[in-house]
A = this chain, B = another copy of it.
Amino acid sequence: MKQAVVLLSGGLDSATVLASARADGFACYCLSVDYGQRHRVELDRAREQVALQHAAEHRVVTIDLRTIGGSALTADLPVPKDSADAGIPVTYVPARNTVLLALCLGYAEVVGAFDLFIGANAVDYSGYPDCRPDFLAAFESLANLATKAGVEGAGRFRVHAPLVHLTKAEIIQLGTSLGVDYSRTVSCYDPDTAGRACGHCDSCTIRRKGFAAAGVPDATRYQESR
C-alpha cells in the first residue's frame, strides 16, 4: 500500500482530504500541529478523524508560533466577525503553510512517503497566499531539493491539494459521498471552551454558506442557535 502524509488540522477541508487520500488507496500518516492556535480544540477533532477514518498513524508536533505572533490566531488580537474587508485578513499566520508543509516533508522522509496531502483551497477561502496553486508547486520543487530522499532519487515528492479548485459546497459534497462525519470537525477560529463555533468569523461564514449551497444539513454546533 502506498504511503502518504496528510496534514490534518481537524477542520472540514483536511478531514475531506484524508478521506480523498484513502479513496486513492493511500495508507495515511497524519500530522497535526499544535502551534499555539487559539482554536486548539481542532486537535481533538483531528484525533477523532484519525480514529473514524482508520488512518495508519497520527503524530502531533508541538511548535510555539506565539513566539513569532503576528496573527489573530497566535497573538492577542481579536478575530474579525462578520467582516467584509478585502485583502488578506489578520487571521493570516506568517509563513504557516510553509512551516506545516516542511514538517510534513520531514515526517514523510522518516516514514518513506513521497506523497503529501494538504487541504489548501483557493476558491472559498480567506485569501491566504500560502493556499494558492503556485505556492504549492513551488513547495513541491523545494521538497525535492531539500531532502536526502529527494536528492538521492529514491522517489519524487508530490504535493497533492485535491480541494484547491473546488468550492466549499463541492468539498462538502465530495466528503459526504466519502462518508466524512463533519459534525466531528471544527472550522471556527474562535470557538468557546466547549468547542462550539462562533458562527461569525470568516471561517464560520464560509462553512455555513458551503453547507447551504451543497444542500447538506449543517451539523456544526454553534454557540447560539441561529
Contact = CB atoms under 8 A, between A and B. Distances in A.
Contact of A106 (B62, B94, B110, B132): B94
Given A88-B148, A142-B138, A142-B142, A59 B70 contact: no
A52 interface: no
A212 interface: no
A65 interface: yes
A76 to B, nearest CB: 14
A70 B147 contact: no
Contact of A63 (B59, B63, B147): B63
Interface string A50-74: 0000000001111111011110000
Interface residues of A, number: 44
Contacts of A65: 61, 106
A224 interface: no
A94 B109 contact: yes
A98 B93 contact: no
Contacts of A60: 67
Most chain B CB neighbours (cut-off 10 Å) among A67, A88, A95, A138 = A95
Contacts of A96: 106
A92 interface: yes
B106 A99 contact: yes
A65 B203 CA distance: 30
Given A60-B67, A63-B61, A64-B63, A129 B110 contact: no
